[in-house]
Structure 1
């Protein structure tokens, strides 16, 4: 599930009356806010982005990098018979592709409404509504885990999530996750020329929060620098195998929130971390 930046969504989505600010937001507040946001916005999200995502494609980010080409989870022929957990699955497009390769996926998302869209499209695998910080699975249940912009951009304690993923992976298991590239936080969330000038400190980790008139968070996104993400991976018990920064391909002429061909040819929009559990 790929999430477009909140500063674009707040102007157009059902939460248009919310006010954007930068302030602290803990684990509980972040989880509650984002569960509600995704339940309210799932319908619009799938209408707006469903064509790009497809029903059974595995796309790592708005650049359109496809797992068919990237093979970050390994060669497709090696996926057959593997138990795979998709975290932040949305309508489970990635899990559905994994199933076509002969894998045994489980799709997990914090939003019940997103998983209803997975049912609408059709599934042959389990769907689980749960928080990524408390995975409802036994130790060593999966061979692989993946997350395309799911969970990690929105949680206040990413190390907790990483440790949970490590717990449910078998020794030698791989976890691949994509997030908004941290450099994007220094630029305005605009796809045109106005989005090419630095407007904020890259080092400011203060969360982006949309809140209602009572000051209650209705959406939260957390910023981590590249160094923070690497340290999180290590603290979570993983070994970092690769860090992929997809270039914007010539064929992709679409805009997605602040992502665009103009910006994508100049600065990275996504960062993909390939991690392994020893």
Structure 2
């Protein structure tokens, strides 16, 4: 194998690794939790369940519009969009996760088109969608240089990109195992690709992400750095609520395709 080929494989091996990771996670990825998400009347975003009434990731005029969810997992965001009157297409690399989405689609009777595909190379016509959205999907598990370019290709002029992701500050404080602590464990710069179980996560610095969005024709409309709520927040293996009340563990982005 040539050095160039090896480098190319290293850049794209995350797709197969993440597919295997989420295929294996299906049984553990909480069918009851997925069902509860499908049943929600108001969307909530990220680990700390930021309500849509605060986040406003979904445009108010979404009814009757084509939208696409990249890295949909069990498809709950697309379910919320369908309930709001949109025409959602839900894309995921894991057949097992889409099997759960298919079961819940039948149970709830919502019109959601499911597509098995890598969100970095989506087999859908470009310039068609009013909204591209990702809740810890492509926004975390895909190479941002690839999936953001795909989002720009899929959107119509003036369309919105909305996504949640981990904070780069959290990524710098996160150990290989266990929750984030109060020490910086890796560089803020140049550490976009991080292992997670059998998969690979991506987290760019704020400056890198803003430049990447601009290079792909986006204007950034808002960035919400989310703090864990004071009451009712659970702890996660990778971050405790107490930590996330002091430092940002996740954030919500909104951008408009302007050119």
Q: Same fold (TM over 0.5)?
A: yes
Q: Hey, what's the Cα distance between the residues in 1 that align with 2:249 and 2:43?
A: 17
Does 2:238 correspond to 1:258? yes
Cα 1:187–1:210 shift into 2, 3 Å:
closer
Aligned length: 245
CA distance in 2, matches of 1:53, 1:239: 30
TM-align CA RMSD? 2.4
State the secondary structure of the residue aligned to 1:139. Answer: coil
CA distance in 1, matches of 2:77, 2:43: 4
- 2:78, 2:90 → 1: CA distance? 6
Distance 2:68 2:158 in 1: 15
Q: Are residues 62 and 96 of structure 1, via their aligned partners in 2, closer, same or farther at CA, if it must alter by over 3 Å?
A: same
Matched residues in 1 for 2:10 and 2:94: separation?
Answer: 19
Aligned to 1:182: 168
Q: Give distance in 2, aligned partners of 1:251 and 1:208.
A: 30
* CA distance, structure 1, for counterparts of residue 77 and residue 139 of structure 2: 17
Partner-residue secondary structure (3-state), 1:274: strand
Confirm whether residue 145 of structure 1 aligns to residue 132 of structure 2: yes
DSSP-derived class of the 2:232 partner: coil
Task: Identify if the C-alpha distance between structure 1 residues 274 and 50 changes in structure 2 by more than 3 Å, giving closer, same or farther.
Answer: same
Name the counterpart of 2:157: 171
**Structure 1 residue 230: deviation in Å?**
1.1
Whether contact under 8 Å (1:63, 1:252) holds in the other structure is no
The 2-side partners of 1:178 and 1:241 are apart by 14
Please give the residue correspondences for 1:1-278 in structure 2 after superposition, counting only pairs within 5 Å.
26-47=10-31, 49-50=33-34, 53=37, 55-56=39-40, 58-75=43-60, 78-122=61-105, 123-156=110-143, 158-189=144-175, 190-191=178-179, 195-205=181-191, 207-209=193-195, 218-278=198-258
1:159 & 1:204 partners in 2: Cα distance? 14
Which structure 2 residue ranges, 5 or more long, are not aligned? 1-7
Structure 1 residue 160, shift from structure 2 partner: 2.2
Question: Aligned-pair distance for 1:106?
Answer: 1.0
CA distance in 2, matches of 1:251, 1:109: 33
Alpha-carbon distance between aligned partners in 2 of 1:125 and 1:47, rounded to the nearest angstrom: 18
Task: Quote how far apart the aligned CAs of 1:171 are.
Answer: 0.9
1:224-278 deviations in whole A, cap 9, x for unaligned? 1111111111122211111111222223321122232201110011122211111
1:176, 1:274 within 8 Å by CA — same for their partners in 2? yes
Shift of 1:38: 0.7
Moved more, 249-258 or 135-144: 249-258
Contact 2:38 2:80 in 1 (8 A): no
Relative contact order higher in (CA < 8 Å, ≥ 6 apart): 1
CA contact (8 A) 1:64 1:252 kept: no
Over 3 Å counting, the alpha-carbon distance change for 1:70 and 1:221 in structure 2 is closer
User: Can you give the 5+ residue segments of structure 1 that lack an aligned partner in the other structure?
Assistant: 1-23, 212-217
Runs of 4+, deviation exceeding 6 Å: none
Q: Which moved more, 1:202-211 or 1:111-120?
A: 202-211
TM-aligned CA distance change 1:138 to 1:114, over 3 Å: same
